[in-house]
A and B are shown apart, each in its own frame.
Chain A
């Protein structure tokens, strides 16, 4: 595989894992990480998150990835699934220059 693509896939998967931990630890969703499918709806009938969780999630993502989503306007569509959240994080990271996820791990 192209090393650039492979690095991208690896980074994407690392961000996804971190987001899963956020959902489990910060939002106290009692499910094993493996059960949190990246394409399952986070809100409503899926995982069951709500508007308060959305606020918590954005703040937690800003802290975790050192990005600033809170100041941007985006809707439910972008936050619908874990994959959507990964896209948001990657896009936010891209706008402020490349950043290795490992570097922001506590």
Chain B
């Protein structure tokens, strides 16, 4: 029996920001207030081979701890830059929340969870290791979750931080992200033709964006927890929403359907009417494709009154800080609410068609009372995220937790993985839909197709909007990363392969899978080492169980073995996917149902606690008789490692070999995960 739990109000008690407008939150807001623009000539690397030379580099003050780099920024240097920016912002956030021990130089409390969003995927170590370094450097020893959906990474990270608090996996969460301006990313955006020669002018002529960088974090905690420790609440994080355009690798759905779904989901999560937002901080990247699609989506979600709502973009001032954009914008949005001043859209000259009628075109903020603000971001792969920030608590609806079935499972093993390249299994899809797909995309899609078939779940019609996909993945496809680097080596940076660049984001495979299977609902990509697959599954279950607007969630994982790479570390090719359904029973299936009755996440090396939480949610007092245990032990590295025991558990339950099964993963340094399945 799954019992309803009261939802917890979540407050923001700390902020930290490093950007082109300053090395802390105060200077960020002062710059925004003064109408300063952080876009300048790029000095970090040589731009003479490009038609564009502007960028929004983080202020030099913020890079004191960073290594000096001249010429080409090597992967290691870009990672160090990212660490330098993130550590600084992280400490500022913890300090403001009163959670920083100056003397010891670490967080002053145990078990603070850390959700880190970054797009930086193509050239670094697996992202989970970067997150580990950051958490360790700041003494954060709770759950460590990495979220990577390109330019919506930190927005999604804030949302999933809220989820961790709502599911009681943590009492305090630090959530946000960081990204850096590297020659590779600059060249990639340049090749796609989306960079403006001057300064990013959202919603205005001329179209085009300017790349930036930065880091930002929120400290999030429950309202009661904050009150108990006498922490000052700066505002409420009332809700979040995720979605996928399921449209194209780099272009948004021109009608803004994905944006609309993310906003509606965020409003529903916050328990408020979407027409009640009084300010929208838009993604507003300045590109032709984004700005009109985004406005269509906002207008559809907010309804008839949308034209009267001020919709501004701070990218004219901050540039497009990629994965860090969302959290920096959320920090500006929160301060706007506190000051009663909404930020202007800088560099606005001449409106482009189909853009917000009130973009706050000015160089100074506008006096405006904001009680309910919406902040939206969109990304490559069609991954959208929206968060709701409010002044006072909202009435988060108490939806009863629904019964969940694990109704389908599919897997691709190492032998079949390679065969996917040759065989013509993509025949059911529209012509050439997969011609740019890499091995990771193909394998994930194949596993998802098997799982949908096993579940007898047809994702068609309105169901496409009510079905989502969460994926646990360790790194982008090595084949695509290789093709990207090869194209740079062969053609030079200015003529690199744009299609390979678009596939170097960690969410490329998930985006392609969602596009081909029309999974337009909630969408994200997480990484937690060996527990990645199980983490995606647990977050998908938590997402589905309390949201009556959803029918099903797919959760998958994929590993692709790097070819001839010195980075190879015993990862085998594999892909797994499961289908979770709410209130869906397949009358034609002759087999027994497998129910997902409980799950839990806990800090690293606390598997017993995760199992305890899972059994408690399932309504069991301890381990019931007839329970079989399935676990991922050491050593395991791949994202799929935790899905193999899950498949065994489902098989055992279907065969009647046990009544209950507990699946856990002890092999991840990022967190402990467990779930309970029953016949």
Contacts and interface: CB of A to CB of B under 8 A. Distances in A.
A101 interface: no
Interface stretch (B69-77, B497-505, B534-542, B563-571): B497-505
A78 to B, nearest CB: 15
Interface in A9-39: 27-30
B433 to A, nearest CB: 8
Given A51-B250, A52-B192, A59-B491, A29 B497 contact: no
A43 to B, nearest CB: 12
Interface string B621-646: 00000000000000000000000000
Contacts of A48: 431-432
B192 A29 contact: no
Among all A-B residue pairs, the 6 with the closest Cβ atoms = A28-B435, A55-B498, A59-B495, A52-B499, A52-B498, A56-B499
A52 B289 CA distance: 13
A105 B560 CA distance: 35
Q: In which size bucket is the chain A interface? A: 10 to 19
Contacts of B432: 28-30, 48
A52 B250 contact: yes
B251 to A, nearest CB: 6
A100 to B, nearest CB: 24
Contacts of A71: 51
A51 B193 CA distance: 9
B251 A50 contact: yes
B453 interface: no
22 contacts: A27-B435, A28-B432, A28-B435, A29-B432, A29-B435, A30-B432, A48-B431, A51-B192, A51-B193, A51-B250, A52-B192, A52-B250, A52-B436, A52-B498, A55-B498, A56-B497, A59-B491, A59-B497, A59-B498, A62-B495, A70-B495, A71-B51
A53 interface: yes
B76 to A, nearest CB: 28
A50 B435 contact: no
A52 B431 contact: no
Given A52-B250, A52-B499, 19 more contacts: A27-B435, A28-B432, A28-B435, A28-B436, A29-B432, A48-B432, A50-B251, A51-B192, A52-B249, A52-B498, A52-B502, A55-B498, A55-B499, A56-B498, A56-B499, A59-B191, A59-B491, A63-B495, A70-B495
B248 interface: yes
Nearest to B250: A52
A55 B192 contact: yes
A63 B251 CA distance: 26
A73 B498 CA distance: 18
Contacts of B251: 50-51
Contacts of A53: 499
Nearest to B500: A56
A31 B436 CA distance: 15
Nearest to A63: B491
Interface string B413-445: 000000000000000000110011000000000
Nearest to B497: A56
Q: In which size bucket is the chain B interface? A: 10 to 19
Interface in B250-283: 250-251
Contacts of A62: 495
A16 to B, nearest CB: 21
Interface of B: 51, 191-193, 248-251, 431-432, 435-436, 491, 494-495, 497-499, 502
Nearest to B495: A59
A29 B499 CA distance: 14
A28 B432 CA distance: 8
A106 to B, nearest CB: 13
A50 B498 contact: no
A28 B431 CA distance: 12
Nearest to A53: B499
Contacts of A70: 494-495
Nearest to B193: A55
A62 B191 CA distance: 14
A48 B435 CA distance: 11
A41 to B, nearest CB: 14
Contacts of A27: 435
Nearest to B494: A70
A55 B248 CA distance: 15
Nearest to B433: A48
A59 B191 CA distance: 9
B431 A55 contact: no
Contacts of A29: 432, 435
Contacts of B499: 52-53, 55-56
Contacts of A63: 491, 495
B488 to A, nearest CB: 12
B438 to A, nearest CB: 11
A89 to B, nearest CB: 17
Contacts of A51: 192-193, 250-251
Nearest to B248: A50
A30 B251 CA distance: 23
A59 B436 CA distance: 17
Nearest to A47: B432
Contacts of B491: 59, 63
Contacts of B192: 51-52, 55
Contacts of A55: 191-193, 498-499
A59 B51 CA distance: 15
A63 B498 CA distance: 15
A50 B491 CA distance: 22
Contacts of B191: 55, 59
Contacts of B497: 56, 59
B310 to A, nearest CB: 31
Interface string A39-76: 00000000010111101100100110000001100000
Contacts of B248: 50
A106 B523 CA distance: 44
Nearest to B499: A52
Contacts of B249: 52
B436 A30 contact: no
A55 B251 CA distance: 14
A53 B499 CA distance: 7
Interface in A68-106: 70-71
